[in-house]
Amino acid sequence: MIGNFIYSNPTKIYFGKESLNGLREELPKYGKNILLVYGGGSIKKNGIYDEIITILNECNKEIFEDAGVMPNPTVEKLYEGCRRAKEGNIDLILAVGGGSVCDYAKAVSVSAHCMEDPWEKYYLRMEDVDNKIIPVGCVLTMVGTGSEMNGGSVITNHKQKRKIGHVFGENVMPKFSILNPLYTFTIPKYQMVAGFFDIMSHILEQYFSGNDDNTSDYIMEGLLKSLIHSTKVAIENPKDYEARSNIMWIATWALNTFIAKGKTTDWEVHMIGQSIGAYTDATHGMTLSAVSIPYYRFIMPYGLEKFKRYAINVWNVNPNGKTDEQIAKEGLSRMEEYMIEMGLVMNISELGVKEEMLEGIASGTFIMKGGYKILTHDDIVKILRSSMK
Ligand code: NZQ
Ligand code: ZN
């Protein structure tokens, strides 16, 4: 292990088929006014909305609704949410949806009582919160981001062509999250597999950094193996409860800060993906899948030892009679085959990226320092270009 750290995660998890009952335990802890935040209406179609309204009424809550949170929530929507939260004198924000709804709820939670422009303060200047924070609780319906148990909040500003995430501290993390794998059965296939790859990318971007002997790397190899196994089952049968519940729990652990402790991390794929998202509004997981193989092939020579370990331990590549480079390459080829089998988007042109956007996307990409190679602007353009069809 390297580095000293403090580990604490305040989010209480209710997991399983009966987990919504957790709301009955949690709601009495907060005041009367609840801001019920959700997306474009999937929760009305699959009945989750009705279940939640029933419990809110049972608990005598005053319900203020904030619907229409879009995938990749925008800064304009954030301003609207702040107005609603202030007008309703909100005591708890209840987010019911995927990462976008949870991220948005956290953004409103820190912004409603902020005297400055929250986009500038939190997302451009990355400042800490120094005003009242409205508590957030989540009912998760889409799996991938880990937003249910972390302080992350990603907001998109289309006018400025920037998509930026702020990782807030413990005081902003959800107070509780309800994880019912049954709720994930209705996710459309495209979203489902995008979520699967989001999880994989979160793990890989913490794995491909550093070469010390680190317990987290062993944990991540285990999470990856379980993820690969369960996603293959879920692709065949999306209603396989065992597989969907494993995936839901892996997603939470992939990004609830635990596996990052005591080690360095990379996050360059996410930075490139977010910049692609700012230009295209594409589905988050697909922005990652489209650049991952080009990125990893590009940095492989700089982190050969770890890529070899990944090939053997995660993809079961037989090392006998092969050079380190051959082993590492075979591991990435197996990963690529798996990604194609899952139906992931493998090139950025499919996401709407045009040649003339490449320079802008590269300029909007934050350069991280924890990976095996610190990228230059031209490196990013090169990686993007090799993801064009
Ligand atoms: O809006 P509705 O109608 O609810 O439909 C949603 C949405 O269209 C649909 N959906 C969700 N649950 C469903 C369902 N449809 C049917 N049945 C269900 N049970 O799925 C669509 C996508 O939802 P979204 O919340 O956008 O997906 P996801 O969970 O992937 O969230 C993506 C956002 O999270 C950010 C991304 O950048 C993106 O903005 N991230 C947040 C992170 C964090 N907080 O740590 C880290 C991640 O890396 C990521 O950047
Ligand atoms: Zn992600």
**Is the pLDDT assigned to residue 171 strictly greater than 90?**
yes
Residues 26 and 113 in one domain: yes
Q: In angstroms, what CA-CA distances link 310 with 203, 313, 329?
A: 12, 5, 10
Cα gap 139→306, rounded to integer Å:
37
**Helix, strand, coil tally for the chain in percent (to 5):** 55, 10, 35
What span, in angstroms and rounded, lies between the C-alpha atoms of 55 and 310?
46
Question: 59-117 pLDDT, tens per residue?
Answer: 999 999 999 999 999 999 999 999 999 999 999 999 999 999 999 999 999 999 999 99
The finding on whether 101 has its CB within 6 A of some atom of ligand 1 is yes
Indicate if 17 and 117 belong to the same structural domain: yes
Look at residue 1 in the predicted model and tell me its pLDDT: 67
Judge whether residue 326 has pLDDT over 90: yes
What does the pLDDT look like over 206-237, one tens digit per residue? 999 998 899 999 999 999 999 999 999 999 99
Is position 6 within any domain? no
Using 50, 70 and 90 to split pLDDT, how confident is the model at 3?
Answer: confident
Do 159 and 232 reside in the same domain of the chain?
no
Kindly report the CATH number assigned to the domain that includes residue 215: 1.20.1090.10
244 falls within a domain: yes
16 torsion bin: left (phi>0), alpha (psi -120 to 50), beta (else): left
Number of domains composing the chain: 2
What is the torsional sign of CA 151, 69, 179, 232?
Answer: negative
Give me Rg for the CA atoms of the chain: 21
241 lies in the same domain as 141: no
Q: Is residue 238 over pLDDT 90?
A: yes
Phi, psi of 155 (to 5 degrees): -125, 145
pTM given for the model: 0.98
* pLDDT tens readout for residues 14-28: 999 999 999 999 999
43 and 73 in a single domain? The answer is yes
Same domain, 224 and 134: no
Within-domain flag for 293: yes
Of 162, 183, 204, the one marking the end of a domain is 183
The residue from 160, 183, 206 where one domain ends is: 183
Angstrom CA distances, 19 to 15, 149, 163, 383, stand at 5, 15, 33, 43
| DSSP state letter for 261 | T
Alpha-carbon distance of 193 to 5, in angstroms, equals 33
Residues 87 and 105 in one domain: yes
Atom of ligand 1 nearest to the CA of 288: 48
| Size (the chain), residues | 389
CATH of the domain at 133: 3.40.50.1970
Give yes or no for residue 280 CB within 6 A of ligand 1: no
Q: What is the tens place of the pLDDT at every residue in 141-163?
A: 999 999 999 999 999 999 999 99
Smallest CA separation from ligand 1 atom 47, residue: 145
Are 81 and 108 in the same domain?
yes
95 with 35, same domain: the answer is yes
> Is the Cβ atom of 41 under 6 angstroms away from ligand 1?
yes
Whether 100 is in the pocket of ligand 1, judged by its Cβ within 6 Å, is yes
**Residue 363 belongs to domain spanning:** 190-387
Residue 294 pLDDT > 80, yes or no? yes
Residues 249 and 139 in one domain: no
Cβ contact 55:27 at 8 Å: yes
Which has the closest alpha carbon to 9: 253, 179, 256? 256
Closest CA to 18 of 180, 177, 246, 139: 180
Domain identity same for 160 and 202: no
Determine, yes or no, domain membership for 1: no
